Structure 1
Amino acid sequence: MRTKRRNRVIFVSSLVASLSVAFIFIVLAMNENVDFYYTPSDLTSSKIINKDSLRIGGLVQEDSIKISKDSLKTNFLVTDLENSIEVYYEGILPNLFKENSGVIARGFYDYSDGIFYAKEILAKHDENYIPKEVKKALVNDS
């Protein structure tokens, strides 16, 4: 009788320990893969530890996009309607990139010159996004 009880206690203890270790691994894996972004106000109000990869999010400010004619260099302002930060990017811009639209840039912020140097630009759309072709077809049908 004692051996059954002892075996049951060992089994339950092993199960609890295994589940605890699995839970810790899951939490650590999720924590490493979650990417948050900062707003321009976050970056201008405090010195955030400058990592190699930082994300900034906001709206592309109207009349701020400057695209070089002979290269892929682009400068624009990202705003959160309180503060703005200049973003420098060299590369092909996403199709949805435009003024007054949401954008997330990944790169690093140089506090000495106040410029965010982006390595990647992600353009956001609202939940009501409809491709241009579908929108034209819907307008033509009605």
Structure 2
Amino acid sequence: MKGLKKTRRIQIIALAFVALAGATALIGYAMRDGINFFRAPAQVVSEPPAEGEVFRLGGLVEEGSIVRGQGETITFRVTDGAESIPVAFTGVLPDLFSEGQGMVGTGQMVGGTFQATEILAKHDETYMPKEVMDALKEQGVYQDPKAPSDS
């Protein structure tokens, strides 16, 4: 009787392990297309993305670069201080989108221009996506809005 209980316990543990491994594999398979890594403009220039690769581009909207066309397409440039990438977006921009502010866009490179399908803007006057802030700090152009000014 003891041998049967031990065998049954081992079978249950093995079945639980197989179920856990299967669930993990299914989650990983489902997420493979949903993970878009953030890239700064300098990274896009130094390591161009593969043709048709969807990724996130973030940085600051360059001053004086927003051009609103005849239709719904808006073009502007995103910079991290080192490089600048042209962006085209068709649709309605977030209310808080403006020049000199942080943004993250999802899309792909088409002929040297980032074709965005989604644009996210900062939430308030001090918010900036962590990835954008880190990239700007690496470039040495990030200024903490909470830091006292020199003036």
User: Which category describes the TM-score, using the shorter chain as reference length?
Assistant: 0.7 to 0.9
Post-superposition shift, 1:45?
0.8
Structure 1 partner of 2:21 = 20
Structure 2 partner of 1:35 = 36
Residues 90, 21 of structure 1: CA spacing in aligned structure 2 closer, same or farther, 3 A cutoff?
closer
1:102 aligns with 2:135: no
Q: Spell out the pairing of 1:74-93 with structure 2 (5 A cutoff).
A: 74-93=74-93
User: Using the alignment, how far apart are the partners of 2:32 and 2:84 within structure 1?
Assistant: 29
> Which runs of at least 4 in structure 1 moved beyond 4 Å after TM superposition?
126-129
Contact 2:36-2:54 at 8 Å conserved across structures: no
Provide structure 1 residue ranges, at least 5 long, that are not aligned to the other structure: 130-142
TM-score, normalised to structure 1, is: 0.74
Provide structure 2 residue ranges, at least 5 long, that are not aligned to the other structure: 128-151
Which structure has the larger Rg?
1
Post-superposition shift, 1:13?
1.5
Residues 53, 32 of structure 1: CA spacing in aligned structure 2 closer, same or farther, 3 A cutoff?
closer
Q: What RMSD in Å do the two structures reach over aligned CA positions?
A: 2.2
1:61 aligns with 2:62: yes
User: Using the alignment, how far apart are the partners of 1:75 and 1:102 within structure 2?
Assistant: 16
Aligned residues: 126
TM-score, normalised to structure 2, is: 0.70
Post-superposition shift, 1:115?
1.6
Residues 26, 45 of structure 1: CA spacing in aligned structure 2 closer, same or farther, 3 A cutoff?
same
